[in-house]
Amino acid sequence: MKKIQILWLSTLFMMSCSGGNEKKATSVTKTTEEIISTEIPKIVKISIEGDDMMRYNLDKIEVNAGQTVELTLTHTGQMSALTMGHNWILLSLGTDKAAFGMAAMSAKEQGYVPQDMKGNIIAATELIGGSESTTITFDAPAPGYYEFICSFPGHYGLMNGSFIVLPQMIY
């Protein structure tokens, strides 16, 4: 028993003398540009999928003001663009998505993008079918809460979500 106590005491003594518990002070100085470039990438890549069940895999996307958005839409289903086409449309603030979706139904020749409502669109992909992908690049709009939809007839009710633009971080 005494051997165990001696061993235990010697271990405590060695630990207290080893300096392993010392805290080292470090100083890191970064410029604002370095902080922004390391913490908020200039380009944000977003992948979103639509399927044959009229669903996006994302219902919320967040980006920062000032970022360039590279968005790729992939149709993971098998149905053609004629029967189950998908697109991704970012609507401007205050746009009534139901009114936009209803107007899109009569815009088949324009890929279900109503020409008289183009002013309500910030960004839009082309219409794609099963196993296809499309990519768009655009600058994030001003901070706020935006909506995105698929404008294929009847899809906007299920295929929609929030596109949130956060204010640019200032340090």
Q: How far apart are CA 141 and CA 101, in angstroms?
A: 21
Residue 32: C-alpha distances to residues 26, 40, 64, 140, 171 (Å):
19, 11, 16, 21, 6
| CATH number for position 150 | 2.60.40.420
Asked if residue 6 belongs to a domain, the reply is: no
Asked if residue 135 belongs to a domain, the reply is: yes
Query: Distance between terminal CA atoms of the chain?
Result: 60
Q: Average pLDDT for residues 141-168, to the nearest whole number? A: 97
Q: How far apart are CA 85 and CA 79, in angstroms?
A: 8
- Tally of CA atoms within 13 A in the half-sphere of 126 that contains its CB: 8
pTM of the model: 0.77
Q: How far apart are CA 160 and CA 97, in angstroms?
A: 9
Q: In 10 A of CB 141, how many CB atoms?
A: 17
The pLDDT of residue 40:
81
3-state secondary structure of 165: strand
Asked if residue 116 belongs to a domain, the reply is: yes
Asked if residue 25 belongs to a domain, the reply is: no
Q: How far apart are CA 62 and CA 154, in angstroms?
A: 26
Asked if residue 91 belongs to a domain, the reply is: yes
pLDDT digits (tens, 9 = 90+) for 63-100: 999 999 999 999 999 999 999 999 999 999 999 999 99
Asked if residue 136 belongs to a domain, the reply is: yes
Residue 6: C-alpha distances to residues 81, 84, 86 (Å):
80, 78, 75
The range of the structural domain enclosing residue 97 comes to 32-166
Residue 145: beta bridge partners? Answer: 164
Number of structural domains in the chain: 1
Asked if residue 67 belongs to a domain, the reply is: yes
* Position 171 confidence tier, pLDDT thresholds 50, 70, 90: very low
Asked if residue 81 belongs to a domain, the reply is: yes
